[in-house]
Amino acid sequence: MPRFSIPEQELVYSGHVACPGCGGGLAIRYMLKALGPRTIVSIPACCWAITSGPFPRTALKVPTLDTAFETTGASISGLRAALDALGMKDITVVGYAGDGGTADIGIQALSGMIERNTDAIYFMYDNEAYMNTGIQRSSATPFGAWTTTTPADMDGTWKTEPKKSMMAIVVAHKIPYAATVSIGFPEDFVRKVERAKSIKGSRFIHAFCPCPPGWKYSPENTIKLAKLGVNTNVFPLYEVENGVYKITMKPSKPRPVKEYLGTQGRFKHLTDEMIAQIQERTDKTWNNLLALEGFSKEHPYCGL
Amino acid sequence: MKTYKTYADLPGAPIADVPSQEESTAGWRTTRPVLDPKNCTKCYLCWKYCPDTAISVNDEGWPVIRYEHCKGCGICATECPKECIVMEKEV
C-alpha cells in the first residue's frame, strides 16, 4: 500500500476551471483532505465561486453554498445555527473566501462571526489581489506590488501601502485558534486544519496561495514561490491558540527577500533601494513576531 | 398568501450536482508531462502538489498522470526530486 504524508481522500473533482498551477486549488484540496466529507463549504464571490465551471457543474464532493461577496461570516453563522437546530453536531462548517472577500469586503461579517464565537472555520486563501476579476489591488496586496489598479509601469503608482495583517485583526477578537499556512508545506497545512477542526468556537486560517497570472510568473513555480515566501520570512508560518503565539517554522538562515521578489513580474519595477526597504520591513515584522511569541506566553492575547 | 412555518416550506434553490470531472481540460495543455518511473522512489510529491488532482496512484503504488484532466502546468516536473517527469511540447 502506498504511504502518504497527507490524507489520501480527494474531495475536489478534477476538471475544474482554475488556471494551470493555481495555488487556491491546492489550498481547498488540502483543506478538505483535513476536514473530511462531513463538511459544508460556503464560498462567496472569489476565484473558487466560478472554478466549478458553468451550471450545473460542481467541483467539490461536499455540499457547497455559493453566497454574496460580503456574507461569508454571516452565511457560516447561519449554517451553524441551522445545523444546531437540526441537531447535526458532527458537521464542520467552513467559509472559503479570498483575500478581497476577507480583508476588504467581508471583514464586517467576519468580525461579527468571531465576536459571537460562532462554531465554524473561516478560511482565507490569500493570492494578494482580486485575481478573479482581473488583478485589482486589495488591502492584502503587499507593498510595492503591481496590479491593474496600481499600474507601476505608467507613473510609478505601485501599491505604496503595507499589507493588512488579518491575523492581528482576528487575534484582537480573542479568537480561540488562528493559524497561517502555505501550500508549499502540505503536512504543516493539514496538521493546522486538523487542529482547527478539533477546537470549538471560531477558527481562522490564513493560507498563502501564489497565483501565476496575477503575480506574473510561470505556473510550474507555484510551489517554489510558496516555499520561498516562508523561507524569506515574507509569510511566516505560525499559530495562535488561546492567545499564545507559536512560530511553527523558523528558517535557520532566512533567504534575502530579493530572491522572492525577483522571480515575480509584479515586482520587476522595484529599485534596489525599494528592495532594501522591503527587506527592512520584513525583518522588523519577523522580529516583532519573535517578541510576540515570547511575550504572549505570559500575557495571552498580549493583554488586549 | 403562502406562509413559511419551517425551512421545509421555503422555495427550492438551484442545485449544481454534475461533477466537473465530466469535463476534460486536456485541451488547455501546451506541454505534456511524461513520466518515466525508472528512478521513481514513490515519494508522491507529484501527487501531492497537483492542483488539478490529475495524478493518481495505482494499485502497485506508482503515480499515474491522467491526461484527460492535466492542464500541463509543470509543477510535477519541477518538484520531482529524481527528475522522472519531463515536459514535452504538445503537437
- A-chain CB neighbours of B87 within 8 Å are 220
Judged by CB atoms closer than 8 Å, whether chains meet at A6 and B48 is answered as yes
How remote is the C-alpha of A54 from its chain's centroid?
Answer: 25
Instruction: Give, for A72, the enclosing helix (H) or strand (E).
Output: helix A72-85
* Closest residue by Cα to residue B89 from A222, B69, B77: B77
Per the DSSP assignment, residues forming a β-bridge with A146 are none
Name the percent of chain A lying above pLDDT 70. Answer: 98
Q: What is the pLDDT of residue A154?
A: 58
Q: What is the pLDDT of residue A302?
A: 85
Q: What average pLDDT does chain A have?
A: 94
Judged by CB atoms closer than 8 Å, whether chains meet at B77 and A220 is answered as yes
Q: How far is B2 from chain A (nearest CA, A)?
A: 22
Please say whether the beta carbons of A154 and A235 come within 8 A. no
Q: Which residues contact A116 (CB under 8 A, 6 or more apart)?
A: A77, A202
Residues spanned by the domain of B44 = 33-91
Beta strands in chain A (DSSP E): 39-43, 57-58, 64-66, 92-98, 121-126, 177-182, 203-208, 238-241, 244-247
Q: How many domains does chain B have?
A: 1
| ipTM for the complex shown | 0.91
> Is residue B39 situated within a structural domain?
yes
* Interface residue of B48, B79, B87, B90 to substitute, partner A, most A CBs within 10 Å: B48
Q: List chain A domain ranges.
A: 23-303
Residue B8 has pLDDT above 90, yes or no: no
Q: What is the pLDDT of residue A221?
A: 96
Question: Lowest-pLDDT range, A106-115, A271-280, B6-15?
Answer: B6-15
Please say whether the beta carbons of B26 and A60 come within 8 A. no
Q: What is the pLDDT of residue B81?
A: 95
Nearest Cβ partner for B73 among A12, A14, A20: A20
Please say whether the beta carbons of A23 and A31 come within 8 A. no
> Exposure string (b/e) for A133-163, b if CB count within 10 Å is 16 or more?
eebbbbbbbbbbbbbeebebeeeeebbeeeb
Please say whether the beta carbons of A154 and A182 come within 8 A. no
Summarize pLDDT for A91-115 with one digit per residue, the tens. Answer: 999 999 999 999 999 999 999 999 9
3-class SS of residue A91: coil
Residue A3 has pLDDT above 90, yes or no: no
Summarize pLDDT for A31-52 with one digit per residue, the tens. Answer: 999 999 999 999 999 999 999 8
Q: Supply the CATH number for residue B74's domain.
A: 3.30.70.20
The amino acid sitting at A285 is T
Q: Got the DSSP string for A161-218?
A: SPPP-HHHHHHTTT-SEEEEEETT-HHHHHHHHHHHHHS-S-EEEEEE---HHHHTS-
A304 — pLDDT class (breaks 50, 70, 90): confident
Q: What is the mean pLDDT of residues A241-264?
A: 95
Q: What is the mean pLDDT of residues B70-87?
A: 96
Q: How far apart are CA A144 and CA A268, in angstroms?
A: 10
Inform me whether the C-beta atom of residue A63 falls under 8 Å from chain B C-beta atoms.
no
Q: Look-up: residue for cell 504572549? A: A296
Q: What is the pLDDT of residue B13?
A: 84
> Is residue B63 situated within a structural domain?
yes
Q: How many CB atoms lie within 10 A of CB A91?
A: 16
Q: How far apart are CA B8 and CA A171, in angstroms?
A: 38
Please say whether the beta carbons of A115 and A172 come within 8 A. no
> Is residue B17 situated within a structural domain?
no
Q: Look-up: residue for cell 493559524? A: A179
Q: What is the mean pLDDT of residues B66-78?
A: 96
Q: Look-up: residue for cell 485589482? A: A136
Q: Which residues contact A277 (CB under 8 A, 6 or more apart)?
A: none
Q: Which residues contact B71 (CB under 8 A, 6 or more apart)?
A: A20, A21, B25, B28, B29, B52, B54
> Is residue B13 situated within a structural domain?
no
A56 preceded by cis ω (within 30°)? yes
Would you tell me the crossing angle of helices A186-198 and A23-35 to the nearest 10 degrees?
Answer: 50
Q: Which residues contact A84 (CB under 8 A, 6 or more apart)?
A: none
Residue A46 is placed in which grid cell? 472569489
Residue A23 has pLDDT above 70, yes or no: yes
Instruction: Give, for A84, the enclosing helix (H) or strand (E).
Output: helix A72-85
Q: How far is A52 from chain B (nearest CA, A)?
A: 6
> Is residue B26 situated within a structural domain?
no
Judged by CB atoms closer than 8 Å, whether chains meet at A10 and B18 is answered as no
> Is residue B91 situated within a structural domain?
yes
> Is residue B4 situated within a structural domain?
no
- Domain A23-303 sits in which CATH superfamily? Thiamin diphosphate (ThDP)-binding fold, Pyr/PP domains (3.40.50.970)
Q: What is the mean pLDDT of residues A115-125?
A: 96
Residue A89 is placed in which grid cell? 453536531
Indicate the length of chain B as a whole number: 91
Nearest Cβ partner for A22 among B17, B51, B79: B51
Judged by CB atoms closer than 8 Å, whether chains meet at B23 and A186 is answered as no
Residue A287 has pLDDT above 90, yes or no: yes
Q: How far apart are CA A84 and CA A116, in angstroms?
A: 15
Nearest Cβ partner for B49 among A15, A61, A223: A223
Name the percent of chain A lying above pLDDT 90. Answer: 93
